[in-house]
Copies of this chain bind each other. A is one copy, B any other.
């Protein structure tokens, strides 16, 4: 059975949330899930996308961009800008981050503003999308608090907090929060985004080239639910401080 740095199957890696990594953003945090480290920043722009104006949609918007820095992987990754386009995997991840955070923020209450979430992976060891979502939720709340403190909003427009974790089946065993080697060896890979009320925001399970049973699905959902409660509690420690 692949080693798992002495963690039990239901244990998260060491989680850390360090605020202020990008002082020019309204909110930012360096989010670590073990050796995976992601810079999560939330910037507020006092305008909305053209389609909202054209369609007369009220309120604000939230969108996300995700990128792996070229030195985040063991062998250097070519920059998207050099290739001239964003790859399919990054596109999927940034759409997932955007949907997840739009479930967290009450966009009708932020005025004609756009919240830009940027997630840049500084070091990649599996679970970069779940660390991105978990960190982005903190960055966004910090940015919105700044707006409240500046008197630009009268109350914090958060509908709920969200966090995300990966689960998988490795050697037949359900495991929480896979690192890169586990992820590579997993026969099933699932990403869960859930709220502080144990609701689902996103459930994305893929057998890649394999398949999985209903029992395996249930076991993974159970593991994930526990992991997300721990992540929400770590977010809360920082945000209640």
Contact = CB atoms under 8 A, between A and B. Distances in A.
A101 to B, nearest CB: 10
Interface string A99-111: 1001100010000
Contacts of A82: 65, 86
A137 to B, nearest CB: 14
The A interface is mostly helix, strand or loop, or mixed, namely mixed
A42 to B, nearest CB: 8
Interface residues of A, number: 67
A128 to B, nearest CB: 12
17 contacts: A41-B71, A43-B70, A65-B82, A76-B116, A76-B118, A79-B81, A81-B86, A82-B86, A88-B92, A88-B95, A99-B209, A103-B208, A103-B211, A199-B211, A200-B217, A202-B205, A204-B204
| 4 A-B pairs closest in CB distance | A80-B81, A199-B211, A25-B71, A41-B71
